[in-house]
Amino acid sequence: MIMPVRTAADLMPLLPELVVILGAFALLMLDLFLDERRRVISHVFAIAVLAVATALISFGVGDHGTFLSGMFVRDTAADVMKITIGIVGILAMIYTWPYLRERGLYKGEVSVLMLFATAGMMFLVSSGSLVMVYLGLEMLALCSYALVAIDRDSPLASEAAIKYFVLGALASGLLLYGLSLIYGATGSLQLDQIATVAQAKIADGSSLMLITGVVFVVAGIAFKFGAAPFHMWLPDVYHGAPTPITLFIGSAPKLAAFGMTYRLLEVGAAPFEDQWRLLLAGIAVLSLAIGNLSAMVQSNLKRLLAYSTVSHVGFLFVGLAGGGREGFSAALFYAISYAIMSAAAFGAIVVLSRQGFEADRIDDYKGLNARSPWMAGLVLCVMASLAGVPPFLGFWAKLAVLRAALQGDMLWLTLVGVVFAVIGAFYYLRVIKVMYFDEPEGEPMEPSSDRPLRIVFGVNALALLALGLAWSPIMEWCQRAFAG
């Protein structure tokens, strides 16, 4: 039921988004009165804003329904994604502060941009119309471009930001063109109404423009995910951006992209399910092949994780291609799992790096076990989970999407996924091998002296094992999100 806004109480379902946006504006004002020594206050304030917004969603403040004349949807699926986005966003902010402060890169704008990007993600997963989809997407994208370029004196970061901006603009253009074709064919911006009109178009054989629009939308979605063959921006951006910024744009936005995919395809383009499932299956195969084979030859850990992201997006698309409630539940479970794993992977680089030493080459990890057994054990948890080794969280995520593809009558896609799951384990196990079996080389690698950072990373890494042992409640949570 569409519920118009008549009083302030009608905005209660939007309260978490309003808290984040108003918090970002308040932070802009607060930052004017803080000098460099007290800059930590603004960062703690930003973390508190995200924590409050996440708590409001967790405790069920505000009704479920459709608001703002159908533009904003508050349902269980949106709540699940927003809670995870909030938690991962808090993790990213904790990782960001000591790294950027030590290098003299921290500015008040960093927290502000992260908050606005988070608001964009929250709007994206609650989109009920094409307008809200594009608004949320551009809020996220524009803030991400600026965050990548935060180190203005680094040629690598500047180059990464330019590539991200140009290719991101191209992706937005593709998506916008697809949305305009869909609007032109249906005469509606509301996703549920688009589905109704699309069903009628199929019945009378006049669906060519709609199908063309859906193809462009899928291409735009693949760009935003970093799926092959639209992945060309991803390795350079992940490598060039400061590591905590890479952590932020490589984790939570994957959940936002999943939310956009669900709203556009499962809600808006549901009558064309047979067509877009095949498109997603093809993209999944390309992503698995290109991502895994490219990652195997990398010597830089950030580039390895970038190409592995392409392969993980391929696995996520395997679940989406399965279709139906099981497919989307499995894909959401994978998106949540990958966001936590990605935060831990880049968090390991943040914890082990220092001024003048980025700890981003695989060779930097040689003999880490001899120097710091505890840290080597935590990195092992991260790599084993990314590789899909049982009983870590990543194993159950891969198993869920492969089972969803099998239930969706895509046995061939399941077999392809199994083959590349085995291939993909190689480059993660290579990192484990150099930590435990190679002799230490070069400068001693010591964990950060920042105690809160080390504690957060330890919790993040061990959570991959703990959640792997207790994965069932998370899966049930994801299934409830699509129960209706």
Position 9 scores a pLDDT of 63
46: confidence class by pLDDT, cuts 50, 70, 90: very high
Distance, CA of 394 to CA of 468 (rounded, Å): 7
- Contact residues for 337 (Cβ-Cβ < 8 A; gap 6+): 393, 394, 396, 397, 467, 474
pLDDT above 70 (res 22): yes
Average pLDDT, the chain: 91
pLDDT above 80 (res 318): yes
Position 154 scores a pLDDT of 87
Distance, CA of 189 to CA of 184 (rounded, Å): 10
Render pLDDT for 115-139 as a digit per residue (tens, 0 to 9). 999 999 999 999 999 999 999 999 9
Work out how many domains the chain is built from and give that number: 1
pLDDT above 60 (res 2): no
Position 72 scores a pLDDT of 92
36: confidence class by pLDDT, cuts 50, 70, 90: confident
The residue type of 226 is G
pLDDT above 50 (res 348): yes
| Residue ranges making up the domain that contains 382 | 2-481
Task: Identify the DSSP state of 2.
Answer: E
Position 60 scores a pLDDT of 82
- Owner of token pair 């403040």: 61
Position 1 scores a pLDDT of 46
Q: Work out whether the CA dihedral 103, 457, 445, 291 comes out positive or negative.
A: negative
Distance, CA of 336 to CA of 339 (rounded, Å): 5
Position 10 scores a pLDDT of 66
CA dihedral 4, 5, 11, 13 (to 10 degrees): 0
The distance in angstroms from the start CA to the end CA of the chain is 14
pLDDT above 80 (res 264): yes
For the record, the structure tokens of 131 come out as 């307008």
- Contact residues for 329 (Cβ-Cβ < 8 A; gap 6+): 400, 404, 475, 478, 479, 481, 482
Under a CB-based contact definition with an 8 Å cutoff, are residues 129 and 182 in contact? Answer: no
Position 410 scores a pLDDT of 92
